[in-house]
């Protein structure tokens, strides 16, 4: 004999909310706040008041993020262009070697008797003679 679910004679009655949409308290609050915002922003300077914080944020973004990054790239490009044959360099991967050849956009490094070709952008720093 298979198990069957018991039958439920009556379901609890679902009582519908009979209030109209305008009587709902949450909608009234949002309608009132929307009207007060609309009344407050009828002045002529609302576009300027809206754009001013955006301009300030854009200026801060430029000064704090873009400008230092440009300076860093200029400094690195200047350092990479000054590297020549015989200089010791460290790559962004941590490999230290001596430049034995230079082409357009790549160096050939001598690393313990092995030669490794890298692009110039992979050079992180030029090592001075006192660093080993």
Q: pTM of the entire structure? A: 0.55
Q: Is the dihedral of CA 21, 22, 23, 28 positive or negative?
A: positive
Question: Quick check: 66 and 75 in contact, CB under 8 A?
Answer: no
What six digits make up the tokens of 112?
């313990």
Question: Quick check: 99 and 107 in contact, CB under 8 A?
Answer: yes
The secondary structure of the chain, three-state, reads: CCCCCCCCCCCCCCCCCCCCHHHCHHHHHHHHHHHHHHHHCCCCCHHHHHHHHHHHHHHHHHHHHHHHHHHHHHHHHHHHHCCCCCCEEEECCCCEEEEEEECCCEEEEEECCEEEEEEHHHEEEEECCCCC
- Kindly give the confidence (pLDDT) of every residue in the chain, 132 residues in length, as a single tens digit, with 9 standing for 90 and above: 677 766 655 555 555 555 555 555 555 555 555 555 555 555 556 888 889 999 999 999 999 999 999 999 999 999 999 999 999 999 999 999 999 999 989 999 999 999 999 999 999 999 987 555
Q: How confident is the model at residue 95, as a pLDDT? A: 96
Of the candidates 86, 131, 96, which has an alpha carbon nearest to the alpha carbon of residue 116? 96
CATH class of 83-127: mainly beta
Question: Quick check: 97 and 111 in contact, CB under 8 A?
Answer: yes
Q: Count of CB atoms within 10 A of residue 97's CB? A: 21
Q: How confident is the model at residue 46, as a pLDDT? A: 81
Q: How confident is the model at residue 15, as a pLDDT? A: 53
Q: How confident is the model at residue 59, as a pLDDT? A: 96
* pLDDT (tens digit per residue) in 120-131: 999 999 998 755
Q: How confident is the model at residue 20, as a pLDDT? A: 55
Question: Quick check: 112 and 95 in contact, CB under 8 A?
Answer: no
Q: How confident is the model at residue 92, as a pLDDT? A: 96
* pLDDT (tens digit per residue) in 14-32: 555 555 555 555 555 555 5
């Amino acid at each position: 004999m298979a198990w069957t679910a018991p039958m439920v004679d009556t379901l609890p009655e679902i009582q519908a909310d009979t209030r109209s949409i305008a009587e709902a308290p949450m909608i009234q609050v949002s309608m009132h706040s929307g009207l007060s915002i609309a009344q407050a922003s009828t002045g002529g300077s609302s576009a300027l008041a809206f754009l001013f914080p955006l301009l300030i944020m854009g200026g801060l973004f430029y000064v704090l993020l873009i400008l230092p990054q440009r300076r860093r790239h200029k400094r690195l490009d200047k350092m990479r262009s000054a590297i020549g044959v015989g200089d010791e360099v460290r790559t962004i991967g941590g490999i230290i070697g001596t430049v034995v050849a230079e082409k357009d956009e790549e160096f050939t490094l001598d690393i313990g008797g092995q030669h490794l070709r890298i692009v110039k952008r992979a050079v992180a720093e030029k090592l001075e003679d006192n660093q080993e």
